[in-house]
A and B are shown apart, each in its own frame.
Chain A
Amino acid sequence: MSLLEIAGLTVTAGGRRVVDDVSFTVAAGERVGIIGESGSGKSVTSLAATGLLGAGLSASGSVRLDGTEVIGASDRALRPLRGPVAALLFQEPLTALDPLMRVGRQIAEPMRRHLGLRGQELQDAVRTALADVSLPDERIARAYPHELSGGQRQRVATAIALAGHPKLLIADEPTTALDVTVQDEILSLLDRLVAERDMALLFISHDLAVVARMTDRVIVMQRGRSVEQGEISQIISAPHDPYTTALVASARALDAALDEPAASGGSEGSGR
């Protein structure tokens, strides 16, 4: 049994199929990517995986998370899964964090709930959790989200997501809102944490290079459908589907510009 088994997932919004008959699995410890452009249904798929579809969206098919059927399950039945089984990391940490609560308490909350920690033990665990996401400064725990930089906020959101020791981390465009140097740091952090904790990773992104760095296997989505699945190296070097082919060619053209930039004016770089 895989940790996440999605079979024939269809999500409709007002009669429109935003996810259309998508099937894939994520095994324990496996790293899987979903790549697609805007409107491809990749984010909705990730929300459906944890039963977090908003009002107005309805799902059919099957989503089994660690053996439990998610579709049709009550929120009460799903709550024990969120945290210890699967945790989510979103694009904009500011919307995921409570603006009125100090970040230390936001990390402590799921630890109290899922791990039953109290008192000094809980405080120590929060300190360790912050250190794990490379925020060793004690002042961070007492800060409010708006007092932190975008990168620090995403580190805090990561600490919260990992507080319940999930078996699967679902990261939906976790670095899209960040500067490129900060993105690099957060990707390294996630890479290390997923490896250290032997977690499975479902990584959703529009950026093929980022998905290639983070995952081994990828699902390509277009207009709600999974058009191609395979090893990332295979998808990049020999895509089969016409859409995947266009996507890879575009990404390849942009990547190639970095090696062969627009005709040089002759002057070399000069530092100041």
Chain B
Amino acid sequence: MSILELRNARFAYGSRTVVDDVSLQVTEGEAVGLVGESGAGKSTIFSLLLGLAAPHEGEVLFDGQPLNRRDRALMRRFRGDVQTVFQDPYSSLDPRQRIDRIVGEPLRSLGIARGADARRAVADAVRSVGLDADVLARYPHEFSGGQRQRIAIARAIVSKPRVLLADEPVSALDVTTRIQVIDLLRTLRAETGLALVMVSHDLSAVAALCERTVVLRDGRVAEEGSTRGILSAPQTEYARTLVSAIPRLPAA
């Protein structure tokens, strides 16, 4: 059974439909890339999957149950199991909070752990993203973009979620840092069986991490399948155009 599912979801801003009859499923342990260009509906679908917005038609299912924001027990489980990383590591971390407090925030707000247990979980999370324990007493401004994204990932995994929703998690990073954060996400998935949903305009980052890809265009699913299949033999005209537009390096 899928952990997260969109079923015939539609979402509109006024008369403008930005997500139109989109269905997609995320099963335990898999990595799915949602790719598309501006206006494809990526960000709105991300908000729907996160429960930040409710579809006007269709539904969002979590463990097979409709996501109901009034069901507090369900929502608490949802918040613990579905965590998120955003694009901009500069605006997503509270500048006034120390790193230990930032990373431990989900444990406090979800009532998962406190005191020594929470400190241990925070230390574990920070270690597993490749940072030293001495970062805990420091503040976000002391870190580079790549380190901040590691801190954001530590916060996202501290509650031991089953799914990580990542919105362009490496797009703001320089290429040398980008590949390091991709490697980190790959390692975390291998070690914990974490499922990943990655929204991105960057097909190479999706290819590096996701075995399945959903191509979105104008709020609809244009094509979906294995990432390998979409890259090597896209079935639709749009996916073909998208794939062939990726700038490639000349052969070495």
Binding site for B on A (CB under 8 A): 37-38, 150, 179-184, 187, 206-210, 212-213, 232-233, 236-237, 246-247, 250-255, 257-259, 261-272
Contacts and interface: CB of A to CB of B under 8 A. Distances in A.
Nearest to A150: B38
Nearest to A185: B245
A124 to B, nearest CB: 34
Nearest to A251: B175
Interface string B230-246: 11011110010110111
Q: Which of B186, B210, B250 counts the most A-chain CB atoms under 10 A from its CB?
A: B250
A208 to B, nearest CB: 6
Given A180-B246, A209-B247, A237-B252, A257 B204 contact: yes
Contacts of A182: 37
A269 B175 contact: no
Contacts of B175: 37, 206-208, 247, 250-251, 254
Given A250-B179, A261-B208, A262-B210, A272 B247 contact: no
Contacts of B228: 261, 264
Which of B30, B203, B220, B239 has its CB near the most chain A CB atoms (within 10 A)? B203
Interface of B: 30-31, 37-38, 174-176, 178-179, 182, 186, 201, 203-212, 220-231, 233-236, 239, 241-242, 244-250, 252
Contact of B207 (A184, A246, A262, A272): A262
A258 B229 contact: no
Nearest to B212: A265
Contacts of A187: 247
A257 B222 contact: no
B209 A262 contact: yes
Contact of A263 (B211, B239, B248): B211
B176 A247 contact: yes
Nearest to B180: A250
Contacts of B241: 181
B76 to A, nearest CB: 31
A207 B175 CA distance: 8
Contacts of A183: 245, 247
Given A180-B201, A251-B175, A254-B178, A261 B249 contact: no
Given A213-B247, A265-B30, A269-B226, A206 B204 contact: no
A271 B37 CA distance: 18
Given A179-B201, A254-B178, A254-B205, A264 B235 contact: no
Nearest to B234: A269
Contacts of A271: 222-223, 235-236, 239
A262 B229 contact: no
A269 B246 contact: no
Contact of B235 (A250, A265, A270): A270
Contact of A269 (B207, B239, B248, B249): B239
Contacts of B230: 269
A27 to B, nearest CB: 23
A180 B241 CA distance: 10
Contacts of B246: 180, 258
Given A38-B174, A254-B175, A262 B250 contact: no
Nearest to A209: B247
B37 A180 contact: yes
Given A233-B250, A261-B210, A265-B211, 15 more contacts: A179-B201, A180-B37, A181-B245, A209-B248, A212-B249, A213-B247, A247-B175, A251-B249, A255-B249, A261-B208, A262-B227, A267-B212, A269-B233, A271-B236, A272-B224
Contacts of B247: 180, 183-184, 187, 207, 209-210, 212-213
A236 B211 CA distance: 28
A181 B238 CA distance: 10
